[in-house]
Amino acid sequence: MDELNNRVQHLELVEQLVDFVVNQDFDSLPAAAVEAAEIFLMDTIAVGIAGTTYDATDKALKAAQSWGENGNVRVVGRPEIKLSRTSAAFVNGIQTHALEWDGLHEPSVVIALCAPVSAMMAEIDTQKISGKALITALVIAVEVAVFFGGDSTASPRFFRPSAAGVMGATMAMAHLRKFDKNQTMHALGLAYSQTSGTMQAHWEGSMALPMQIGVAARTAHMSVDMVAAGMTGPVDIIGGRFGYFQLFETGGDVQSLLNALGKPYKMTEMAHKPYPAGRATQATLTMIRDIQQEHSFSVADIKQIDIYIPPLVLLLVGRPPNADMTPSYARLCLRFVAPLLLIDGDIDPRRYSAEAFTDEAIVELGKKINLLHDGNPDKNALGPQRMELLLTNGTVLHASCTDPLGSPENPLSKVQREDKVKRCFSLGLPNMDADSYIQTCQQLANLNDCSVLLDHVSGL
């Protein structure tokens, strides 16, 4: 009897989440959530364009083309390329996370945008989708992804952008397909049955890291396609014996997460990454920017840098640099990206190269950086962080950062957001009109057919 009662209670959890998804409509969304959706959709697609500069994405495209799936779906940042809908989602996903430039929900440490946006960009070339529908789907996706990744008390073992991201992406797709409650519930279960992505790829800096996002975006399409074909999935996937919060995330209060859906909408809490590097590096990069703006010194004047960071930051980006590291590894290596910013004054994604990895100035400056545990007991905290920079003349410069540049409390300005988009275009689509794309994104809610977005970022 106890097992039966538990199952009933667990199913109520699933129903509460699915009810939230199917009951969403554009007119009920607050203006702040709509504006944030337009801003972060613009950013995420642009980052996917820049992602074409990483050679891992060319390899992924080659693999997708070898699968023999014919299609007419355009791929973000790839003029003249057309694939099947699932393969386009796959390539979009890899490109979107390839440079570690995509935004995230800071409180939950969930990169909640890349899988859903990648999946939806493959959908808008196959059915007419309005801007209002796309915005609503994206808001749903972020809410669901944050729910699945947002309240663990343990350090991550699975890669939340793919594991939680696929759940959000699938719910976005269910909305775009106009699924009813029963169909939506089974789409969620089928997505859960295919959930994948571990932190090992992150740990090694493997090309499999962005690949996991591609798989998540493709899986969202596969899940709703299977439901449309009449397949069903497991239902008790939240609190069940082998449910998500038994296998993937542990220690959180699931009911509190459900009660917090839309209160506020998590889309309004999203953060930009101003630099193409792991989010765990962004507070340090913000401190470097602030110190360089406030004080006059040269790199040659630096004797030592002590950076005090929480345990999650040490786990994610405390890795040692080496001459043979991959670009994915380097983007997650604080003792590489910090010297790069100090020396260059910015971070160009093309600098993640063998030449830079052996650059004597970068290597030597990296050796002067000490990464120190700050005593924070929170296993999921990215901050606050603080820095002490010792100059050769004995001067000690101090900086601290609770809210990195790009966070909701320290947001990018409109000019900074648009400059980032233009920079992404200059890297991946230098002959396309970034200004027209920006204008279209700012009028997203008024679009009758969102396929125009692909006109801007893939060609006609």
Helix residue ranges, H only, 271-413? 282-294, 311-317, 327-330, 334-344, 354-357, 360-367
Residue 7's pLDDT is 55
Contact (CB, 8 A) for 265 and 411: no
Cα Rg for the chain, rounded, in angstroms?
22
Residue 381's pLDDT is 85
Pairing of strands 385-391, 396-401: antiparallel
First to last CA, the chain: 61
- The domains of the chain are located at 2-274+423-458, 279-401
pLDDT tens per residue, the chain (460 residues)? 455 455 566 789 999 999 999 999 999 999 999 999 999 999 999 999 999 999 999 999 999 999 988 899 999 999 989 999 999 999 999 999 999 999 999 778 789 999 999 999 999 999 999 999 999 999 999 999 999 987 666 677 888 999 999 999 999 999 999 999 999 999 999 999 999 999 999 889 999 999 999 999 999 999 999 999 999 999 999 999 999 999 898 877 899 999 999 999 999 999 999 999 999 999 999 999 999 999 999 999 999 999 999 998 999 999 999 999 999 999 999 999 999 999 999 999 999 999 999 999 999 999 999 999 999 998 778 889 999 999 999 999 999 999 999 999 999 999 999 999 999 999 999 999 999 999 999 999 999 999 999 999 997 6
Domain 2-274+423-458 and domain 279-401, same fold? Reply is no
The residue assigned the tokens 């003029």 is: 79
Residue 338's pLDDT is 98
ω into residue 311 within 30 of 0, thus cis? Answer: no
Instruction: Identify residue 366 by its one-letter amino acid code.
Output: G
Smallest CA-to-CA distance from 310 within 257, 375, 262 is with 375
The residue assigned the tokens 């995509």 is: 102
Smallest CA-to-CA distance from 288 within 409, 400, 406, 410 is with 400
Contact (CB, 8 A) for 26 and 200: no
Rounded Cα distance, 123 and 451, in Å: 9
Contact (CB, 8 A) for 400 and 385: yes
Phi-psi region at 100: left, alpha or beta (left = phi > 0; alpha = psi -120 to 50): left
Rounded Cα distance, 385 and 285, in Å: 11
CATH topology (fold) of 2-274+423-458? 2-methylcitrate dehydratase PrpD (1.10.4100)
Contact (CB, 8 A) for 87 and 69: yes
Contact (CB, 8 A) for 155 and 380: yes
SS3 371: strand
Distances (CA, A) of 278 to 97, 316, 343: 10, 8, 19
Instruction: Identify residue 148 by its one-letter amino acid code.
Output: F
> Element (H or E) spanning 104, and its range?
strand 104-105
Residue 4's pLDDT is 47
Phi and psi at residue 407, in whole multiples of 5°? Answer: -75, 165
Superfamily (CATH) of domain 279-401? 2-methylcitrate dehydratase PrpD (3.30.1330.120)
Determine how many CB atoms are found less than 10 A away from the CB of residue 182.
13
Output helix, strand, coil percentages for the chain, rounded to the nearest 5: 55, 10, 35
Residue 17's pLDDT is 97
Residue 405's pLDDT is 96
Structure tokens at 243: 């449910």
Distances (CA, A) of 383 to 131, 315, 317, 399, 403: 36, 13, 13, 13, 8
Which string of b and e fits 297-327 if b means at least 16 CB within 10 Å? eeeeebeebebbbbbbbbbbbbbebeeebbb
CA atoms lying within 13 Å on the CB side of residue 235:
17
Residue 124's pLDDT is 97
Phi and psi at residue 398, in whole multiples of 5°? Answer: -115, 145
